[in-house]
Each structure stands twice: as C-alpha cells, then as structure tokens.
Amino acid sequence: MNQARKCINSLKAYNPGLIRAKYKLDANESPYDLPVAYKDRILKRMRKIEFNRYPDPYARELREAVAKKNKVGPDNIFFGNGSDEIINYVLQAFCGPGGTVIIPVPTFEMYRIAGVINGNRVIEIPLDKDFDLDDKKIIACADKTRAKFIFIAFPNNPTGNCFSYEKILNIISSVAAFVVVDEAYLEFSGKTFLRHLKRHKNLIIFRTFSKLYSAAIRLGYMIADRKIIDTVNKVRLPYNINSFSQAAALELLKMGRYTAEKADIIVKEREKLYAALKGHYVIQKSDANFLFIKMKQNAGTCRKYFQKNGFSIRIFKSGHSRGWMRLTIGRPEENEAVLKILTRSVE
C-alpha cells in the first residue's frame, strides 16, 4: 500500500548522474582539488576535534569568520548542510502548507522540489526569450497570490546568466514576499546584492562553499536580517553542521589567494570555450562556471556519445530546458577535449 503524501508521489528521487567519470563536468564542481599542503592544514585542525562530543550547534567560530568576511554581524549568518537544507528550512519557517512560492523557469530544481515537499503552491513564471526575468509578471503574481517566497538564482542555473540587476531590485522593492537571491556562483560573476540587505528586510542571500571551495564538506550559508535568522533557527535540526565541516571551512576561508587564482582560470576558460563554440551552437553567455548549450542531436544520442568518450555532462530531456545541455568548465585539457567532441562529432 502506498501511504506517501500525494505531493511526494509526483516527485522523482534526485538523480546525481554519473558518480565516476574520466571527465566529470555535470555538477558545476571545481575541477581543482585542494593541494596536499592545504589538506594538511585542515587535518591538523581536525585532530583537535573531540570525537566523543557533539559539534557546536551554532558554529560560533565559523559564523564569526564568515560574518567578518562579508562585513555583517554574526547574527546575520545561518549555516546549512548545503543550500538545499536552507531552502527547506526557510519554507518550513515562513511558508507552510498551501503557501505560494514563485520561481522563474528554468532554474535550480531544488526550489520547486523543496516547495512541493513542504506542501507549497509552486508557481513557475517562464523567462523571456533572452533568459531574463519578467519582473512585472512576477510582481503581479506575488501580489495576487500573496506569495511568501520568490527564489532567484544569480547567476541562474542552468542558463548561467545573471538576470537584470534592475529587475531584481524592482522585485525586491515591490513585493511583500521574501526574495531569495541565490549567489552560489558569486566567485565567477563578481555580482552581489549584499549592499541592499540593510535597506530591504525581505531580502535573503544564499552563498555556498561548494562551487569553488569544497563541494565535499556540504556547507552553504544564508545572510539575512537577524529576525529571519532567529526564526529559521527554530526549525533547524540540532547539530546540523558537523565538526569536520566547520573545521574545514575555517581553513578554507584562509585560502583566498589560491581560490581567487582558480576562479580566474575558470572564468578565462569559460570565455575561451564560449568563443570557440558560439559559431557552431546556440549558446548562452555565462556568468557562472558552466555553459548552457542547445543540442543538435536528441538527448539519448548525445549522452551516449559523451559517455563513450569518458564525459559526464548534464543533459535536459524534459521541462523548460529540454533540448539543452549544461557543461561545467573543467581544466584546460578537459575543455579542449570537449571542444573537439562538440565541433567535430556531435555537430
């Protein structure tokens, strides 16, 4: 007997794609592992952890460090086991069953999934022909439905572009809903809404360690008004950030020069690959660490060819992104290999 809630029956379990591949370019991870010397620093800090004790439930030392980096107060910081957990928490804290969530589409799929899981009404508003927001439609919809949340990825995933800054500001200024601006790819775009946080109490900013620092530690954080943080802490599960992730993050924050250098390499590689492909494909200009490319063959054929050559990439077979692929920027040699496939074989 299937006793699952009806909304859960409409979902499919998340498919992470190929876990192991010669060229893993499907999850927007950094292609660069940490050097051994940096790992040794992390391990040295971890040796001081008391394995028989629970982690600091408020990650106090890490909150201080992240707050200092972002020039906000520690009370403005909230950590989650990846941004996915924070999405779930904010919906639990403020939205509730039947509450309305607005998302532009296509976008990061966890906004919709978390909304469905929490029994929310999820309204999708398509992007325009340039993959930009329809701010007027979003504002009108938020007003009509008394929406609780609007989620905006900046840059957007999977299209890779940053939406119009002015349109996002217009939305933030015009609605009563909370507006989440997800800056997961900040290191590659250099664009942020952080300076608007004090003026707009409905603004919530997401950041993550996953895209440039270390996806392995599963650590995201939220920057928001203290009252928002206090409320979300009421639904947070105890000890949600383990001691090892806290220790690793504290050391990762000290690696600014290294991570900046790697981000610069990735951005240059992104622009190089974009320039080489734009004459062959319909391709979106990107502000992130990936490219959004319209396929010239059907999804099954395209996937098989890439897998045969050792590549794992993200191919969309349904929804608003159907017929497109998302390609993470890899190391220079990986990008050269994928360029040969795209320009000589798939075409």
Q: What is the DSSP string of 186-234?
A: HHHH----GGGTTT-TTEEEEEESTTTT-GGG--EEEE--HHHHHHHHT
The tokens describing 131, both together, are 């993959």
Closest to 255 (Cα-Cα) out of 221, 214, 294: 214
Q: Which tens digits make up the pLDDT trace of 257-298? A: 999 999 999 999 999 999 999 989 999 999 999 999 999 877
Which domains are present in the chain? 16-34+256-346 (3.90.1150.10), 36-252 (3.40.640.10)
Q: Which amino acid is at 65?
A: A
Q: Is the pLDDT of residue 345 over 60?
A: no
CA Rg value for the chain: 20
Position 17 confidence tier, pLDDT thresholds 50, 70, 90: low
Helix or strand run (H / E) with residue 171: helix 165-174
Q: What is the distance between the alpha carbons of residues 207 and 200, in angstroms, rounded to a whole number?
A: 18
Please report the pLDDT score of residue 237 as a whole number: 96
Residue 47, exposed/middle/buried by CB under 10 A (0-12, 13-18, 19+)? exposed
Which long-range CB contacts under 8 A does 136-141 form with residues at least 24 apart?
138/102, 138/104, 138/171, 138/175, 139/170, 139/171, 139/174, 139/175, 141/102
Please report the pLDDT score of residue 347 as a whole number: 46
* Mean pLDDT, residues 169-192 taken together: 98
Beta-carbon contacts of residue 79 (< 8 Å; ≥ 6 apart)? 59, 62, 63, 219, 220, 221, 222, 240, 241
What pTM value is reported for the model?
Answer: 0.94
Q: How many Cβ atoms from other residues are within 10 Å of residue 170's Cβ?
A: 16
Q: Which tens digits make up the pLDDT trace of 235-258? A: 999 999 999 999 999 999 999 899
Please report the pLDDT score of residue 26 as a whole number: 93
Q: What are phi and psi of 288, to 5 degrees?
A: -115, -160
CA terminus-to-terminus distance, the chain = 48
* Mean pLDDT, residues 327-338 taken together: 95
Q: Dihedral angle at the C-alpha atoms of 37, 39, 40, 43, nearest 10 degrees?
A: 170
Q: Is the pLDDT of residue 30 over 80?
A: yes
- Residue 336, classed as helix, strand or coil, is helix
Q: Is the pLDDT of residue 158 over 90?
A: yes
* Cβ(80)–Cβ(110) below 8 Å: no
- Look at the block and give the residue holding tokens 């933030």: 172
Beta-carbon contacts of residue 49 (< 8 Å; ≥ 6 apart)? 243, 244, 247
Please report the pLDDT score of residue 16 as a whole number: 63
Q: Is the pLDDT of residue 2 over 80?
A: no
* Cβ(219)–Cβ(63) below 8 Å: no
* Mean pLDDT, residues 44-69 taken together: 97
Least confident of 200-204, 225-229, 320-324, 325-329: 320-324
Per-chain mean pLDDT for the chain: 93
- Residue 105, classed as helix, strand or coil, is strand
Q: What is the distance between the alpha carbons of residues 210 and 224, in angstroms, rounded to a whole number?
A: 20
Share of the chain above pLDDT 90, in %: 82
